[in-house]
Structure 1
């Protein structure tokens, strides 16, 4: 890069942690005159009540638009539930999967465009055109690769959203699957953004069910390994516990220790067929820095709690600094 080049950042993200981090990153990049492309997890997607839902995409959309319900971490701020209550009266949908009226508007618009023949990439482009997000959102793939939770050796399964939201991850799974992902391809623009990036960041999202499906799309992890940009990840684990949600259950099922070093080892070093060059860990996990370094990944100890906008932006600055920017 030269002093006149515009900084190009690619972020792999999903979930609440990913959307929160993206807001601070967007604000910092905007101050530097750069651009942000977010490759969103679509493994959480599902069909419900005849509508196509993309929870991680929408969380990212609402967060960057400044309309996310910050109290619950997802959905639209100030939303109401008249339509959801009416659907419940007809026994349609999942009564435990709360969808507000404004949120349903996005799902209806998306589904309408998909049924008209638009791709998920094109539908997301239309959704984000409503607001000045300061970023470009891309799905990881246009292929439907919803996450299934396999509960036993007989293959009993349910959709990830039911396991996560209704059962709060209390049912012990055998494994997670994304049917169809082996034949999926990266969505249009994803590989080009990775190849052109000055920095590639991995958000503090669930490593197994948010970042895992992104990296499982054929060709995507290879593109990251081949990129000229440094790859920096932010640990979603602080003090041997997930910052939010039930990521510890997902990690246990995948055989990954619920530690900052354990997740770093799961992603692996780019020099050893993994994807990371550097890894941000919390001060609470500073003793793990040597173990991360031993993996061939450079550890950076930083404050990771994104408790307000200033701290979130400071974390983005730290991630860019770890990339030499």
Structure 2
């Protein structure tokens, strides 16, 4: 088992897959994950944190592999009863999932921080990685579209990403900040490598990097920062990233992602990882000023996740950022 320490920046499903591989490859506590919270919202009086919960369920082995979200062996009694009463059922909340939201909301109402509540949930679920929200302050993604400005979950779930995207806004981001617990963890347990997971660059990674103080903390680590492209062969493995890129007038390629990071977060990345199927794009990606690594990045099985994690961890020993 590797003794390397890794810090990962992650959104939901795609990032959680890689984080599972990393957790399996590392000793307990050696993986720290900063989770996007700009997708979070209040629904039916509950605080819902979709990306955090996807990480919790995936890393604990509780996730539903068929749906790709939520918990395995889920039941829907409460949602069905709510529908019979004429209640709002557009956001699918299973009975087991509801328990997570009830616990979180109660603990937050009692004065707990999102970081404290998340780490308590992780411990109770047997997650050995340390999951940190990007901020304890609420941040909300708004999607500018041809149907106006939409809350992210309305765009993503209720409208199934059908509106054409023109821009994004993160309400509350300017006044948010990195939690003291996360800042202390980054300082006390310096990682050997920072991995930007194959998550949506616009609505998952950009808000994490946009938290005031986050970029300076990452720069102060002085370790290699490697991003894995979420676009493979012109398609997003999961989610609307490819559709967003097309509607924003960007090339729907791994090199398009590299260009986005280079333009929006200059100097952040030392290396960029693309899939074997995109090997012809190496030069285009390198033109953004990063070192490019080609390897299998599609994670269909646990073995795929572990293999990609092992290859990324190996970058620690190669002196990628030297």
Q: TM-score, normalised to structure 1's length?
A: 0.91
- Asked whether the 8 Å contact 2:64–2:73 carries over to 1, the reply is yes
Residues 34/103 of structure 1: CA separation in 2 closer, same or farther (3 Å cut): closer
The secondary structure found in structure 1 opposite 2:53 is: helix
Aligned length: 315
Please point out which of 8, 12, 16 is paired with 2:9.
12
Aligned match of 1:24: 21
Unpaired runs of 5+ residues, structure 1, are: none
1:61 to 56, 60, 66: 56
Q: After superposition, what is the alpha-carbon deviation per residue over 1:100-152, rounded to whole angstroms, capped at 9, x for unaligned? A: 00000000000001111111111112211212212011000011111111235
Q: Which residue of 2 aligns with 1:167?
A: 159
User: What does 1:50-89 align with in structure 2 at a 5 Å threshold?
Assistant: 50-89=45-84
- Aligned match of 1:190: 182
* Structure 2 gaps, min length 5: none
Do 2:3 and 2:26's aligned partners in 1 also have CA atoms closer than 8 Å? no
- C-alpha RMSD of matched pairs (Å): 2.0
Work out whether 1:248 is the aligned partner of 2:245: no
What is the deviation of 1:262?
1.2
Question: Which residue of 1 is the match for residue 302 of structure 2?
Answer: 309
The 5-angstrom pairing of residues 134-213 of structure 1 reads 134-152=128-146, 156-195=148-187, 196-213=190-207
Alignment of 1:35-114 (within 5 A): 35-93=30-88, 95-114=89-108
Q: Counterpart of 2:225?
A: 231
Q: 1:193 to 1:233 in 2, by over 3 A?
A: farther
Q: Tell me how far apart the structure 2 counterparts of residues 222 and 258 of structure 1 sit (CA, whole Å).
A: 30
> Quick one: structure 1 residues 200 and 193, their matched pair in 2 at CA, closer, same or farther if it must change by over 3 Å?
farther
> 2:29 touches 2:128 (CA, 8 Å); kept in 1?
no
Whether the 8 Å contact between 1:225 and 1:273 is mirrored in structure 2 is: no
Q: 1:53 to 1:309 in 2, by over 3 A?
A: same
Could you give the per-residue CA deviations for residues 57-106 of structure 1, whole angstroms, max 9, x where no partner exists? 0000000100000111110100000011112222333x232110000000
**Cα 1:16–1:290 shift into 2, 3 Å:** same
Cα displacement (A) at 1:253 = 4.8
Q: 1:141 to 1:319 in 2, by over 3 A?
A: same
Q: Does 1:299 align with 2:296?
A: no
Give per-residue Cα distances to partners, 1:257-302, cap 9 Å, x unaligned: 22111111211299x8331111110111101111222222110010
SS for the counterpart of 2:312 is helix
The match for 2:116 is: 122
Contact (CA 8 Å) 2:165, 2:248: kept in 1 or not?
no
CA–CA separation in structure 1 for the residues paired with 2:52 and 2:141: 15
Aligned pair 1:277/2:270, yes or no?
Answer: yes
Where 1:189 maps in the other structure, the secondary structure is helix
Q: Distance in 1 between matches of 2:35 and 2:41?
A: 15
How many Å separate the matches in 1 of 2:127 and 2:136?
21
Distance (Å, rounded) in 2 between the aligned partners of 1:132 and 1:269: 39
Q: Check 1:218–1:35 CA distance in 2 against 1; reply closer, same or farther (3 A cut).
A: same
1:227-254 deviation line (CA, Å, top 9, x unaligned): 2111111111111111112111323455
Contact preservation (8 Å) 2:5, 2:31: yes
Q: Secondary structure at the match of 1:130?
A: helix
What residue in structure 2 maps to residue 323 of structure 1?
A: 316
